Amino acid sequence: MNNKLYIAFIYAMVLMTSLNSCKKDPDNNNNNNNNSATFGSVKVEFEHLWAMSGAEFKLNDTLLHPMKNEKMFFTTFKYYVSNIKFKKSDGTWWSQPESYFLVDVSNPTSLILTVNNVPTATYTEMKYTLGVDSLRNVSGAQTGALSTTNNMFWSWNSGYIMIKAEGKSPNSSTGDFALHLGGFKGANNVVTEKSTNFGGATLNVNPSATPQIHMSANPAKLWHTIEGVTTKSKIMMPGADAKQAATDFYNSFNFEHLHP
């Protein structure tokens, strides 16, 4: 009798476990379906124009600075964009986690940032940071856009190079120029948050389309206020000149248009 009761008990437990499993499966399937139906992606494209002419900025091309009247031949131009946020039409904000991008003019694919897993909604504004926030500047070795292999980190002074512009110029006493602009604390902090309201248009995110935000920036603004390469061909550490050059460049960022 005891054996029969034991066998019946085991059978009942197995049956209950099977029933519970069957009840959970529909919920799991529904969650998966909901997740796949409630998110989309947004692309943010950065175009670089030289001065007010509207001409495309290119590496390895001789350019004439409109204010300094100096010739410049860029071989390197890259900078950080981070902490992208979108404002919904209801006034709430969505922030992309781990949002760090290195825009490198020598790498065309880096000029278009892909922001994934954006909740389906209508958005009216974008905020973004030019540079790398203070926490990541003191967080040690990192990966992806923040990896030290990108040569955008000062080994001698903890902190990221937010903007790197290098090249040649016959107006420079050394024949070249190098601006390594950084600094994340105090009066010489170059990290800057920017925003755009899309010119009054709306960004509609859904799983069936990937809208694109088109932005522009002007590298000639690096020497808008500071002295030209004739007297200021090297800035290699945080300071007032680095702050001013970065601020002038960041002020050149403009929203152009939306692609639905």
- pLDDT tens figures, 140-153: 779 999 999 999 99
> How many Cβ atoms are within 10 Å of 226's Cβ, its own excluded?
18
CA distances from 228 to 43, 67, 113, 178 (A): 35, 9, 31, 12
Token pair recorded at residue 163:
């903007």
pTM of the model as a whole: 0.84
pLDDT per position as a tens digit, 49-81: 998 777 899 999 999 999 999 999 999 999 999
pLDDT per position as a tens digit, 85-100: 999 999 999 999 999 9
CA 193/CA 189 separation, integer angstroms: 12
Contact 142, 111 (CB under 8 A): no
CA dihedral sign of residues 195, 199, 202, 206: negative
Cα 25 from chain centroid (whole Å): 39
CA 106/CA 35 separation, integer angstroms: 36
